[in-house]
Structure 1
Amino acid sequence: MIERGSDTQAFGVIVPDLPGCFSAGDTFNEAIDNAQEAMALWIEDALDNCNAVPAPSDLDTLRATGQWSGSEWIWGFVDIDPALLDEKFERVNITLPRRVIARLDRVAKEAGESRSSMIAKLALSA
């Protein structure tokens, strides 16, 4: 949902299906782009914290709430890359100096984890 902007006020964006997900932009297009980024970050954070990502609501259901019925609201839509939701494992080949691999293996062993899970944990914490 996009709240109309003006020459002195930004376009505000609220994502009804993602609680607490909002954004803004100085122009309509910037607001849409920023909303797409906010949604991707919201989804990434939810998955990283083992939280469910709600399915998109039906447009008629959202309209029926009447919450965004005023003329100050514009309906907007963005595409989200489905890869953001893909939890399927994939084998990758990486090249690292031996000293880095040795350190990685030591840290993983101390944490009681595998090399792969340690790399994933480090990447997700960055």
Structure 2
Amino acid sequence: MKFPVVLHKDPNSDYGVTVPDVPGSFSAGVTMDEALENTLEALALHFEGLMADGEPLPQPQSLEAHQGNPDYAGGVWAVVDFDVTPYLGKAVRFNATLPEHLLARIDAYVRNHPAQKSRSGFLAEASLKMLQQG
């Protein structure tokens, strides 16, 4: 899922990162790139804690939903792509029926996009995107 983040930098400090949709999740780094990379680690730790406590996982809103918030004034906005699938619970096998041509297109996409490890991963990611849209 793509989470909006805002970076702030005060004189003589590292970049600080706030994730508005994940209260309590903060990160920092010497460079913007490092700060964004560290944000993924901070999100992983935060989501592990939420999962352990049985809390619901946060859902990202659009950048526009946060830009008017005065708490983030003067910050630089970015988006981090965070894989939430490891925090959705145990994988469950199910039987699905899809048109042959559609299944062939999915398989071709998975073969040509190394980030997609499997047909199931593709279907899970596509489902999350649709659910995120509401």
Instruction: Report the TM-score, using the length of structure 1 for normalisation.
Output: 0.62
Correspondence 1:66 to 2:70: yes
Deviations 1:20-53 (A, max 9, x none): 1101101111100001110111011101110111
SS in 2 for 1:76: strand
Matched letter for residue 9 of structure 2: R
Gaps of 5+ in 1: 92-126
In structure 2, C-alpha distance between the alignment counterparts of 1:78 and 1:90, rounded to whole Å: 27
Structure 1 segments of 4 or more deviating over 4 A?
none
More strand by share: 2
> Bigger relative contact order, structure 1 or 2, given CA contacts below 8 A and separation 6+?
2
SS in 1 for 2:78: coil
RMSD: 1.9
Correspondence 1:88 to 2:93: no
Quick check: 1:44–1:84 contact (8 Å CA) kept in 2? Answer: no
Correspondence 1:33 to 2:10: no
Gaps of 5+ in 2: 1-5, 94-134
Q: Higher Cα Rg: structure 1 or 2?
A: 1
In structure 2, C-alpha distance between the alignment counterparts of 1:82 and 1:14, rounded to whole Å: 18
- Count of residues in correspondence between the two structures: 88
Deviation of residue 90 (structure 1)?
Answer: 5.7
